[in-house]
Each structure stands twice: as C-alpha cells, then as structure tokens.
Amino acid sequence: GITCPKPGSARRCLSAAAPHGISPMLAQSRLPSFLLLLPRLRSLAPGLAMSSATGTVTVQQPLNYRAGARVHPADGGQLEEVFEPATGRVLCKLPCSGEKEVDLAVQSAKAAFKIWSQMSGMERCRVMLEAARIIREQREEIATMETINNGKSIFEARVDIDISWQCLEYYAGLAGSLAGEHVQLPGGSFGYTRREPLGVCVGIGAWNYPFQIACWKSGPALACGNAMVFKPSPFTPISVVRLAEIFTEAGVPKGLFNVVQGGAATGQFLCQHPDVAKISFTGSVPTGMKIMEMAAKGIKPVTLELGGKSPLIIFSDSDLDNAVKGALMANFLTQGEVCCNGTRVFVERKILDTFTKEVVKCTRKIKIGDPLLEDTRMGALINLPHLNRVQGFIKQAKEQGAEVLCGGDPYVPDDPKLKNGYYMRPCVLGNCKDDMTCVKEEIFGPVMAILPFDTEEEVVERANATKFGLAGGVFTRDIQKAHRIVAALKAGMCFINNYNVSPVELPFGGYKFSGFGRENGRAAIEYYSQLKTVCVEMGDVESAF
C-alpha cells in the first residue's frame, strides 16, 4: 500500500548537497539556500541593488527519472547543449534518450500503473495533495530553477509555480469524486458505467512553461489513475525532474511519473511505443501534425495544445487603463513566448491614437534584464536562434510597411555577465494590415501588432480570419456586446476585460489549428479516462435463437 509522509517530513535539504541537481559553479557556495534568502533580504532592505545567482550554476545530476530515481539514459547519448538564456552560458549537456531508455521508462510506468490504478480516488487525492504541498513549500527553489533555465523573470516564474501546485490540488480534489452512473433498465435490469484510467500516458512539453505544462498534464492524468512518461523540451529539461522527485516524496508508487529527455527522435519513440495509451502534446502546429499521424497508427487518443495568433479587441467604451494593462498582459508575459497571447490588438479607431500612445508609454517602461532580480519584468528569450527568428519577423514587418512604434531591437544589459544573453526590447507595431506576415503568423516573442477597426461586425470577421483558434479577448463596458463578441469568436479560451489569467478551474484549449482536447477544469478528466459500460440482466435471457 501507499503511505503518505507525515506533513513536513518531505522537507528538502537545500544545502550544498543540491538534491535537485543544480550545483554552484563556485565551489562550496551553498547556492540554493542563498537563493531562498534573496527575497527576504530584499524585503528587509528595499531598494538595495543585489546581485543574483544568474551566471553561477551548472547542472550535474542526471536528468532522466525512472522507477523513482534519477538515472543516466540506458542508450541514445546524443548530447544537446542546454543554455541559460540570461547569459548564454551552457548549463549542461543533455544526453538524449534512445529507444531502450524510452522502453524502460514505459515499462516502469506500466508496473506502477498496476498499483496506482487500484487505489481509491481518496487515496490518490492524499498523495497528490502532499505533492502540491511540497511544491508550495519549495516554490522559491523551483521558480529559481525555472528562471535560470527558461529566462523568464522570477516574478513570473513564481506565478507559474503557484498555478502548478494549484493544478495538483484541484485534481486531487476531483480524484475522490470520479464516478460513473447507474441506469435503470426494464424488468429490474440495470446498467452502470465505470470511469477507468487509460494506462500509460505520454506528456510532451514545450519550453515556455516547463514545470507548469508537466503539472497540467500529470495532474488530471494521475487523478484518473494513470501513469505518465513525460518528455520536456530539450531546451528546458531541468525543473520537471524536480516534479518527478516530488511525486516520489509525496508517495506515488515508484515509476508512476518518469522523465525521458531528448528531442524529436525521443518523442517519436514515445509516441510509437505500443504500450502507450494516450499522448498529450503541447507545442507547435507542425509537430502536432506529426504526433497525430503517429497516434493514428496506434489508434491512440491525443490532446493537442498548439500555437495561436489570437485577437484582442478594444472598444472605445473600455476602461482605458485596464485595456492598456490587458494589452500588455496579452503580449509581454514570458517575453511574449505564450501560446494564447493576444498579438493582434484590434483597437476601435476613435481611440486608436490615445490607446496606442499609452501602450507605447507603458511598454517602454518594462524593466528588461537579469531575470532573477526582483524588479525585472522581462527576461531573456529562450535561445539565440529564436531571438534571431523574432528579429526576422520584425525586419519583415518593416519591409511590408508596418511601423515600429517602440522596441524590437536586441537589448544588451549593462551587467557584463548578461552581455551574451538573448534579450530584446518589447515591440509595438503600428500601421499594420491583416495580410502582413507579422499579423498572420505566430511570432512567439514580445511583438504586439495594433490594427484599427470601425464596426463590431467587421472586427469579428477579421478576428476570426485566421487558421488558429486558441484564445481571444474583448475590452468594453457594454456587457451585452462583450458576450456577443466572445460567442462569435472561434477560439477555445476567451477573456472579457482581462487577458492571460490562468485559473486551473477553467478548461483551456484550442479550436481549429490550435488543437483539440482540454487541459484544466473538469473537462480534462474526459481526456485521461475512458468509460466502461456494464449491462446487468436480472431476468432470463430472451434468445433470438
């Protein structure tokens, strides 16, 4: 059986032992404890400019996790460099897992599934609540890891980690109430349904929310009684291994949550494995198509959380301050590398100048720099090729007639240790037209396109004129108009008078090329379980023969 650790017993030693695999490059510096103290020191001495741990860590421990322990992959071995976006330094060289390691991870998950799937929902709930508690307790350490590996500000990473433990708490709460139904049939016969787990589920993640994506997938999967093998992006392999350790500390059977590392080849081994029952994928549209093809060959259900080019519609009757704040939230979180960003900002022509002036003023004030500093609000983009790609979109936008109203150029912070980091100034583009590349394609960087409109009918048609359908938003004081607009938007996640908030209670997912299936909310349960119908005869068999 499974026993839950006593509250507090899973507390990690955060000293030089560095159990999470990050060890200081500077010998004996006991970095993790120091990191934990930074926010407190800052609050004791507000305004004091403190240096951060950026540029001081390397990762040494294995980043695969199988059968309850960190392991070196059994095969594969191609090495991928993992960067610290803030400095351009190499954090570690990641060995990519081969077919044998993938199989070992799947077999490990299969064995754990036999135990976990037989437990009651309440038993699973207790273990998941403990995992959520440990994440909450280690929020600062995990957020710091995420910032070092992803480049996003520590301010945002903390929110990501909060959403992550909330997700596990939410699904822990649902685990105990998962049930089928009882149906009466003629003559006292009856039927009932059982909601059963699928088996070994594969999660494949993108690099923009590494820890959170793993929780959005493992939360509902584990609550339903499944096991999981998770493959993070090779750009951000670090934090999810901590999640695997936390699940083990919380009391899941060893092997219930495994991590294999690698890129496309490793992902393919996972998707094609005959013992895998389901694939949940977060990433780009082209990869999503390949995943769906592989899943089709094994008749495996898939969830696809793909890209977007979402509209944000600002009417002239909006509260202007809120609309401006909403536009920034819709475009500049995580350096603009957010799938549901509202990157096409449609502004009613009457307020175009006022709104644009305010948005540009606020965008210019965004503090860019060392992501581990408390006042930084925009860190570094994920890597140099991606920074160059975003720059390419801006160049093309200018060539096609858009006007750069602010930013768009690479940014070199004053701190010499950051000079090779992947920074750019957030960009607002004016004079945009619907047929420009910067308005049609997902840029996945801090680039907002402003587009004027005149009528409600016109803006809805233009907002929907995209192959994507992930999200959309509207700002207006007219509540009927707001509901009319969101009802007409062909998008899975719509916001009224806000943007890019992520309550775990609400289902999240796309229409059209943005994918299908849902994460979060009760809806996700449907995608990690299957119904068995049992028909019970209380009389004699009426045979046709």
Ligand X SMILES: NC(=O)c1ccc[n+]([C@@H]2O[C@H](COP(=O)([O-])OP(=O)(O)OC[C@H]3O[C@@H](n4cnc5c(N)ncnc54)[C@H](O)[C@@H]3O)[C@@H](O)[C@H]2O)c1
Give the interface with ligand NCCCC=O as residue ranges (CB under 6 A).
Answer: 208-209, 338-340, 502
Interface with ligand X includes 444 (CB under 6 A)? Answer: yes
Measured CA to CA, the distance from residue 352 to residue 377 in angstroms comes to 26
Complex with ligand X: residue 52 or 258, whichever CB lies closer: 258
Complex with ligand X: residue 265 or 488, whichever CB lies closer: 265
**How many other C-beta atoms are found inside a 10 Å radius of the C-beta of residue 363?**
23
Cβ atoms of residues 492 and 362 within 8 Å: no
3-state secondary structure 409-430: CECCCCCHHHCCCCCECCEEEE
Can you list the positions of beta strands (E) in 9-137? 22-24, 57-59, 64-66, 69-71, 76-84, 89-97
Interface with ligand X includes 263 (CB under 6 A)? Answer: yes
Minimum CB distance to ligand X, residue 44 (Å): 37
| Site map 230..259 versus ligand X, x via CB under 6 A | -x-xx-------------------------
Minimum CB distance to ligand NCCCC=O, residue 338 (Å): 4
With a CB cutoff of 8 Å and minimum separation 6, the contacts of 395 are none
Measured CA to CA, the distance from residue 244 to residue 242 in angstroms comes to 5
Interface with ligand X includes 272 (CB under 6 A)? Answer: no
Interface with ligand X includes 472 (CB under 6 A)? Answer: no
| Residue 259 near which of ligand NCCCC=O, ligand X, none (CB within 5-8 Å, type-dependent) | none
Footprint on residues 173-232 left by ligand X (CB under 6 A) = 204-208, 231
Complex with ligand X: residue 444 or 528, whichever CB lies closer: 444
Interface with ligand X includes 282 (CB under 6 A)? Answer: yes
Give alpha helix (H) positions in 67-153: 99-116, 121-137, 139-150
| Residue 271 near which of ligand X, ligand NCCCC=O, none (CB within 5-8 Å, type-dependent) | ligand X
3-state secondary structure 157-221: HHHHHHHHHHHHHHHHHHHCCCCCCEEECHHHCEEEEEEEECCEEEEECCCCCHHHHHHHHHHHH
Complex with ligand X: residue 305 or 456, whichever CB lies closer: 305
- State the catalytic residue, choosing from 305, 337, 348, 442: 305
Of 25, 79, 264, 538, the residue at the interface with ligand X (CB under 6 A) is: 264
Complex with ligand X: residue 169 or 442, whichever CB lies closer: 442
Complex with ligand NCCCC=O: residue 339 or 450, whichever CB lies closer: 339
Of 30, 110, 194, 290, the residue at the interface with ligand X (CB under 6 A) is: 290
What is the 8-class DSSP label of residue 58?
E
Measured CA to CA, the distance from residue 164 to residue 135 in angstroms comes to 8
Measured CA to CA, the distance from residue 244 to residue 230 in angstroms comes to 9
Q: Which stretch binds ligand X (CB under 6 A): 116-124, 240-248, 280-288, 310-318?
A: 280-288
Minimum CB distance to ligand X, residue 420 (Å): 21
Cβ atoms of residues 443 and 336 within 8 Å: yes
Is residue 305 annotated as a catalytic residue, yes or no?
A: yes
| Residue 263 near which of ligand NCCCC=O, ligand X, none (CB within 5-8 Å, type-dependent) | ligand X
Interface with ligand X includes 94 (CB under 6 A)? Answer: no
Residue number of the CB atom closest to ligand NCCCC=O:
339
Measured CA to CA, the distance from residue 224 to residue 307 in angstroms comes to 27
85, two tokens: 């976006």
Cβ atoms of residues 142 and 135 within 8 Å: yes
Residue number of the CB atom closest to ligand X:
267
| Site map 354..383 versus ligand X, x via CB under 6 A | ------------------------------
| Residue 143 near which of ligand X, ligand NCCCC=O, none (CB within 5-8 Å, type-dependent) | none
Q: Contacts with ligand X: how many residues (CB under 6 A)?
A: 28
Alpha carbon 146 to chain centroid, angstroms? 12
Minimum CB distance to ligand NCCCC=O, residue 171 (Å): 16
Helix (H) or strand (E) holding 307: none
Of 130, 140, 146, 442, the residue at the interface with ligand X (CB under 6 A) is: 442
| Residue 502 near which of ligand NCCCC=O, ligand X, none (CB within 5-8 Å, type-dependent) | ligand NCCCC=O
Interface with ligand X includes 151 (CB under 6 A)? Answer: no
With a CB cutoff of 8 Å and minimum separation 6, the contacts of 145 are 20, 22, 238, 239, 242
505, two tokens: 């209670």
Q: Which stretch binds ligand X (CB under 6 A): 9-17, 98-106, 303-311, 478-486?
A: 303-311
Cβ atoms of residues 374 and 155 within 8 Å: yes
Interface with ligand X includes 280 (CB under 6 A)? Answer: no
Q: At what angle do helices 139-150 and 239-250 cross, to 10 degrees?
A: 160
| Residue 436 near which of ligand NCCCC=O, ligand X, none (CB within 5-8 Å, type-dependent) | none
Measured CA to CA, the distance from residue 194 to residue 444 in angstroms comes to 42
Measured CA to CA, the distance from residue 72 to residue 67 in angstroms comes to 12
Minimum CB distance to ligand NCCCC=O, residue 262 (Å): 21
Cβ atoms of residues 67 and 253 within 8 Å: no
Q: Which stretch binds ligand X (CB under 6 A): 28-36, 136-144, 260-268, 309-317?
A: 260-268
| Residue 351 near which of ligand X, ligand NCCCC=O, none (CB within 5-8 Å, type-dependent) | none
The Cα-based distances of 141 to 34, 42, 53, 377 in angstroms read 10, 16, 12, 19
| Residue 307 near which of ligand X, ligand NCCCC=O, none (CB within 5-8 Å, type-dependent) | ligand X
Nearest to residue 338, comparing CAs of 260, 262, 423, 446? Answer: 446
Report, as residue numbers or ranges, the catalytic residues: 305
Binding site for ligand X (CB under 6 A): 204-208, 231, 233-234, 263-264, 267-268, 271, 282-284, 287, 290-291, 305-308, 339, 442, 444, 470, 510
